[in-house]
């Protein structure tokens, strides 16, 4: 008994002495994102935290900040370069300030579906794009899916002329601005965290987003119509600061990357499920009307929006666009 007590006392002292040293050495990874936890990105981030803390306990600690709690997507990359955050996964539409190439993902009607986007992302052209911002201090660690975009509005949108004169919130992307200008609408670049209030107060008429974001941020409660347009996609680039990443001990970096790849695979599964289940929840809510486009209606959107490609061809590169188009084979 006496031995036991002494043992406990000794262990307690050892822990007290050891604890600060371990904490001081612990690498902290702050992962900032803007969406709800119950989304593909939210679930991937939480999975990453769980895996890292299980496998690298005491060595690496992950802190996840969802719902724009820490930064919004317009400030997170700057914060990353300053070392204030180590991981983020902004949508591919939000890197225009750092690379001319990633805006390819915003070209309207580029990919037939998520599977085609996946083929492009995992192919040589997509993999090369991960490093397209290295000279700016940012490294892409992988792609994560959310889903295809739908158009929501305060009035029914069946043909492009219906969007004329309406104000749409867009992500910070010049391609998306051109896409809405092509239908004579007024695009406004606004942070994701502002969208619900802008819609609710009718400061804007509509927005484009995935089923998962429309559901988890309740946009469907303040929009009377959603046109099932699937005219583009929201996928993410999981990004880190080059200085932070290259400064990690090699064995830790390998483990962190492995956990991230597994977390992305998990998030991608959630994305496929949510594209179906959140759509159904929105439909079942009866709060909004989901409009299906006939083939001829859809053709009109394609005809009016597709010339946007030409506008950005020099910037993005025809070879890259051709590689993306080629990934549609089999979809
Ligand atoms: C948006 O701003 O609409 C999206 O990029 C938000 C997100 O991260 O899915």
Atom of ligand 1 nearest to the CA of 33: 8
Structure tokens at 298: 């859809």
Number of independent structural domains in the chain: 1
Residue 309 maps to a domain: yes
Beta-carbon count within 10 A of 314 CB: 9
**Of all atoms in ligand 1, which is nearest to the CA of residue 191?**
2
Which residues lie closer than 8 Å to 28 by C-beta, 6 or more apart? 60, 61, 62, 63, 86
Pocket test for ligand 1, best of 65, 74, 175, 192 (most atoms within 8 A of CB): 192
Domain of 67: which CATH number?
Answer: 3.40.190.170
pLDDT at res. 122: 98
List for the chain the helix, strand, coil content (%; round to 5): 55, 15, 30
Sign of the Cα torsion 331, 173, 261, 47 reads negative
How many CA atoms does the CB half-sphere of 171 hold within 13 Å? 26
Per-residue confidence (pLDDT) for residue 23, from 0 to 100: 64
Q: Distance from the CA of 14 to the center of ligand 1, in angstroms?
A: 47
Does the Cβ of 234 fall within 6 Å of ligand 1? yes
What does the pLDDT look like over 88-106, one tens digit per residue? 999 999 999 999 999 999 9
Residue 155 lies in a domain: yes
pLDDT along the chain (331 residues), means of 10: 44 43 80 98 98 98 98 95 98 97 98 97 98 98 98 98 98 98 98 97 98 98 98 98 98 98 98 98 98 98 98 98 97 85
DSSP conformation class of 32: E
- Taking the CA of residue 195 as reference, the ligand 1 atom at the shortest distance is 3
Q: Ligand 1 pocket test: which of 31, 35, 274 has the largest number of ligand atoms within 8 Å of its C-beta?
A: 35
> Does residue 331 sit within a domain?
no
Instruction: For residue 113, tell me if it sits in a domain.
Output: yes
**What's 329's DSSP letter?**
T
Q: Which residues of 14-35 are buried (b: 16+ CB within 10 A; e: fewer)?
A: eeeeeeeeeeeeebebbbbbbb
Residue 296 forms part of a structural domain: yes
DSSP 73: T
Question: With contact defined as beta carbons under 8 Å apart, do 176 and 245 qualify?
Answer: no
The domain of 234 spans: 2-326
Could you tell me which residues are beta bridge partners of residue 52? none
Query: Distances from the Cα of 277 to the Cαs of 236, 271, 299, 317, in angstroms?
Result: 20, 10, 27, 37
With beta carbons less than 8 A apart as the criterion, state whether 309 and 302 touch: no
pLDDT, tens digit, for every residue of 13-35? 444 444 444 467 899 999 999 99
Handedness of CA 74, 75, 79, 82 (dihedral sign): positive
170 ligand 1 Cβ < 6 A = no
- CA 93 to centroid of ligand 1, rounded, Å: 9
Reference 99, options 142, 138, 126; nearest CA is 138
34 lines ligand 1 (CB under 6 A): yes
pTM score above 0.85: yes
> How is residue 31 written in tokens?
């992962």
């Amino acid at each position: 008994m006496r031995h036991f007590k002494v043992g406990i006392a000794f262990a307690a002292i050892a822990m007290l002495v050891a604890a600060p040293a371990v904490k001081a050495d612990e690498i902290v990874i702050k992962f900032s994102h803007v969406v709800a936890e119950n989304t593909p990105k939210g679930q991937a981030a939480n999975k990453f935290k769980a895996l890292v803390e299980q496998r690298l306990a005491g060595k690496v600690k992950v802190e996840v900040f969802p719902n724009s709690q820490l930064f919004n997507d317009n400030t997170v990359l700057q914060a990353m370069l300053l070392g204030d955050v180590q991981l983020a996964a902004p949508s591919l539409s939000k890197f225009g300030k750092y690379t001319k190439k990633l805006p390819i993902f915003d070209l309207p009607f580029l990919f037939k579906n998520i599977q085609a986007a996946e083929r492009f992302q995992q192919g040589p052209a997509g993999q090369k794009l991960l490093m397209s911002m290295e000279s700016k201090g940012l490294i892409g660690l992988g792609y994560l899916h959310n889903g295809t975009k739908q158009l929501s509005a305060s009035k029914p949108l069946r043909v492009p002329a219906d969007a004329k004169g309406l104000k749409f919130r867009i992500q910070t992307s010049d391609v998306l601005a051109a896409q809405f200008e092509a239908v004579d609408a007024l695009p406004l670049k606004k942070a994701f965290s502002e969208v619900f209030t802008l819609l609710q107060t009718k400061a804007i008429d509509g927005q484009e987003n995935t089923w998962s974001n429309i559901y988890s941020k309740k946009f469907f409660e303040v929009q009377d119509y959603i046109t099932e347009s699937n005219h583009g996609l929201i996928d993410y680039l999981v990004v880190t600061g080059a200085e932070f990443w290259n400064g990690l001990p090699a064995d830790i970096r390998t483990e962190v990357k492995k956990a991230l790849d597994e977390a992305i695979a998990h998030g991608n599964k959630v994305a496929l499920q949510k594209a179906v289940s959140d759509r159904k929840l929105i439909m079942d809510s009866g709060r909004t009307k989901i409009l299906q486009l006939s083939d001829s209606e859809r053709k009109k959107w394609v005809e009016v929006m597709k010339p946007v490609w030409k506008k950005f061809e020099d910037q993005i590169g025809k070879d890259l666009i051709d590689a993306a188009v080629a990934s549609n084979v089999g979809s």
